[in-house]
């Protein structure tokens, strides 16, 4: 199984609806590394690192999100290992402050 690092931006009604907590829970349940954060423009950004098939499935889950969210669009691109440095020390997956 090959490894992948993907960064995604989720747009829609995704702040104030538990989206970050939902992402964190799902990512940890699938043993992914990375982070999630709100962005001041109303979107949510996330980074997922792990087996390519599991990362791809997580990105697909983000297209639906939690039941209280309404996702309009998800954009994604490859990211490098340096993007993982945003995590808090000692955490595999972090919820980061809004940027």
Q: How many Å apart are CA 17 and CA 70, to the nearest integer?
A: 9
Tell me whether residue 85 is one of the annotated catalytic residues: no
Cα 38 to the chain's mean position, in Å? 10
* Dihedrals phi, psi of 90, to nearest 5 degrees: 85, -5
Q: How many Å apart are CA 21 and CA 37, to the nearest integer?
A: 10
Per annotation, catalytic residue among 6, 37, 38, 87: 38
Per annotation, catalytic residue among 20, 26, 37, 87: 20
Q: How many Å apart are CA 12 and CA 33, to the nearest integer?
A: 24
Q: How many Å apart are CA 19 and CA 3, to the nearest integer?
A: 25
Q: Which residues are catalytic?
A: 20, 38
């Amino acid at each position: 199984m090959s490894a992948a690092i993907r960064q995604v931006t989720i747009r829609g009604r995704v702040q104030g609806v538990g989206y970050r907590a939902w992402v964190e829970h799902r990512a940890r349940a699938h043993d992914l590394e990375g982070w999630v954060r709100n962005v001041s423009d109303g979107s949510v950004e996330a980074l997922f690192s792990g087996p390519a098939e599991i990362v791809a499935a997580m990105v697909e889950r983000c297209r639906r999100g939690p039941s209280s969210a309404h996702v309009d669009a998800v954009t994604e691109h490859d990211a490098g290992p340096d993007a993982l440095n945003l995590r808090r020390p000692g955490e595999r997956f972090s919820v980061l402050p809004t940027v």
